[in-house]
Structure 1
């Protein structure tokens, strides 16, 4: 079952798939380098870099014209939610912190990009991962539908609770060791490794193979 609790061996297998993608971490490492020490959306350049990175991850968001509200809307979202986003590991999230992230997600998904679209659920989840890579397990449409049946804020809250339980179980199975190192994906967090497990077991069999590359 794609939604079964992954074992370390499962994560190794899906890590091998991701390591087989050309330049799998290239755009992620570039984003980290260009925004060091962290993505901070109070900077206009970081907002532009985040959008560019989201498109490298398959979001297909049109770059806004000067008249579009995206940049100012994203800044307003950051001013409202940025300081409230937890800075803990996925395994260490409290119930209250998960609720906070889910509310931020719901608001971010509704941010207006242009007169034709909002940021959307998938891009919002990926953006939250970029902002808190140790904390947020992202999703795409296929994963959200398969596991939770929708992409609402409540569904994303359930997704983070699932990720927390998985992360805790994986860490308990290899105490004192780095899971990313153990599975051969040292450039990313455990939250992302769990997302990769879902991508390989759910999204790829459906034929959508480009949503998390780069």
Structure 2
């Protein structure tokens, strides 16, 4: 698959340009406020906050009407019960091979989780690979890099579990290289210090890498705003 250039200068230019999309920061701050910056999908309010953030980020998951089943809430609760405790808490640059490999099944299950009822057919649609990747990032913002359809297709040629693992490996390599270039360590604190250097205080490094991918790939394929 095509490779993208990555160094501090390239990333700095991208994140400064992406900062123009102020609504992205606003909806993220709303999500952090709603979850206390410690998302726990065992809590109903946090599941609702995640659904709201996903929809504001463009995922278009139908909200149930009063009296209808709530597939998203039920599906996320069940997935969290199975997988939540296993989600890594390390910084992206510190993920081990075993931790990255385990994310493939975790992602695949989440992408297949029920998300919304279709009134026309009575069928329930799955969450899907883009929303699943975004949700995993929202749950572990300093650990996991999201994607969209254009990014996944361009970099990995697929959006399955193997491609998701490859995306996290790529992000880990980018993150480690950037932090080394900046003379920093690989912990979350180091990544936040790097965000300060880039003029984007508190922005998670996985999201800054996604900002770059969005501008380099998605904007080129589809000129709509995020």
User: Which TM class, normalised by the smaller chain length?
Assistant: over 0.9
* Counterparts of 1:24 and 1:112, CA distance in 2: 26
* Counterparts of 1:68 and 1:132, CA distance in 2: 24
In structure 2, stretches of 5+ residues that fail to align are 118-122, 185-189
CA offset digits 1:9-39 (Å, max 9, x no partner): 1111111211112333011111111111411
1:77 is paired with a residue of what secondary structure?
Answer: helix
Query: Which range moves more in the overlay, 136-145 or 57-66?
Result: 57-66
CA offset digits 1:162-191 (Å, max 9, x no partner): 111111100100123622111122232111
* Counterparts of 1:67 and 1:123, CA distance in 2: 20
Residues 1:127 and 2:131 are matched in the alignment: no
Q: What do you get for the CA RMSD once the two structures are aligned? A: 1.6
Q: For the Cα contact (< 8 Å) 1:5–1:166, is it kept in 2?
A: no
TM-score, normalization: structure 2?
0.88
1:21 aligned residue: 21
1:180 aligned residue: 195
Whose Rg is larger? 2
TM-score, normalization: structure 1?
0.93
2:69 aligned residue: 67
2:120 aligned residue: none
Greater relative contact order, per chain length (Cα 8 Å cut-off, separation 6+): 1
In structure 1, stretches of 5+ residues that fail to align are none
Match of 1:109 among 104, 108, 111: 111
1:58 is paired with a residue of what secondary structure?
Answer: coil
Aligned residues: 211
How far apart are 1:70 and its partner, in Å? 2.1
2:146 is paired with a residue of what secondary structure?
Answer: coil
